[in-house]
Amino acid sequence: MAITTLDGYVASNRQILTFSRSATITGTAAVRSSMYHLAGDPGAGTLAGTSTTAGVLVTSSTAGFPTIKNTGAANYYLSRVAFTNSVIGTVIVQDLLYKAGAYSFNSNVTLSAQPSIAGRVPGGAYGGIDMYFECVTAFTGIPTVTVTYTNQDGVAGRTTGAFSLGTAPVVGKLVKLPLQAGDSGVQKVESVVATVATVGTFNIQLVRDIWIGRLPIANGSVLDGFDKTGLTEIYQTSALNFLPQADGTSSGLIGGFVEIASG
């Protein structure tokens, strides 16, 4: 049953999922970096996507993401978050829903038979489902990408427009793609076009941010309880990911845990 009271939380089934990475990424200050492909706990996953024409759902059983134990409960919640980092900055916990790629610097692909992310969108509210460019291999030149998509209300043919990344992306760099005016989220990716650059590959992600915290002191730590996480609803299949957004160019050495309550 849903957890709606303090007594419900106390009585809930709770599990701890750890996350750490033993290497850093040199990227762009105040920009998110993917780290699930680096060695650590859980073990490294694969950065490059495995499908350019349909994309895939990313789940808790995908390599690189902590496994969420199936407790048999109907509801799962993010109840606590703790993290540390060797550098100052922000850390985000997200549910990585979908990944399509890896696309080349000059791709022009129309997708079909895409899997639905509906099972990981609470209440069917797609507003807040963001779309990201994820660099898989480093670029020579500055790419411009155009992605068409179905928006939060199910309207197809919406577009990011021709969006320049601004600088040549490095491996792991994440850049949030703009949506067409009036849109607040994405249900499905329809096509991906890339131009200008001469070398480099990338993925397109659909993600749901579920917690954001700030570390004001290098090598400090943060612990937020359920009063801070808001018992945000997640799923047993959620691909939970720690993302550093460092103030400087190093992602830092990151580690932490999340507590999942289910009931």
Residues 102-117, mean pLDDT to the nearest whole number: 98
**Mean per-residue pLDDT of the chain:** 95
Q: What pLDDT, on a 0 to 100 scale, did the predictor assign at position 1?
A: 66
Residues 169-190, mean pLDDT to the nearest whole number: 97
Whether the per-residue pLDDT at 228 is higher than 80: the answer is: yes
Q: How crowded is residue 136: how many other Cβ atoms within 10 Å of its Cβ?
A: 23
How many structural domains comprise the chain? Answer: 1
Spatial CA neighbour of 173 closest among 27, 2, 6: 27
Specify the higher pLDDT residue, 24 or 181.
181
Please report whether residue 192 resides in a domain.
Answer: yes
Please report whether residue 8 resides in a domain.
Answer: no
Please report whether residue 7 resides in a domain.
Answer: no
Residues 215-226, mean pLDDT to the nearest whole number: 94
3-state secondary structure 171-192: CCEEEECCCCCCCCEEEEEEEE
d(CA 165, CA 194): 11
Give the model's confidence band at 28: pLDDT under 50 very low, under 70 low, under 90 confident, else very high: confident
Residues 227-237, mean pLDDT to the nearest whole number: 96
pLDDT in tens, 125-147: 999 999 999 999 999 999 999 99
- Give the CA distances from residue 167 to residues 139, 144, 202, 244, in Å, rounded to whole numbers and listed in that order: 9, 10, 14, 19
Whether the per-residue pLDDT at 226 is higher than 90: the answer is: yes
pLDDT in tens, 38-69: 999 999 999 999 999 999 999 999 999 999 99
Residues 16-36, mean pLDDT to the nearest whole number: 92
- Tokens 């830092």 — which residue? 252
Give the model's confidence band at 27: pLDDT under 50 very low, under 70 low, under 90 confident, else very high: confident
Domain containing residue 235: 14-262
Please report whether residue 6 resides in a domain.
Answer: no
Please report whether residue 91 resides in a domain.
Answer: yes
Whether the per-residue pLDDT at 150 is higher than 70: the answer is: yes
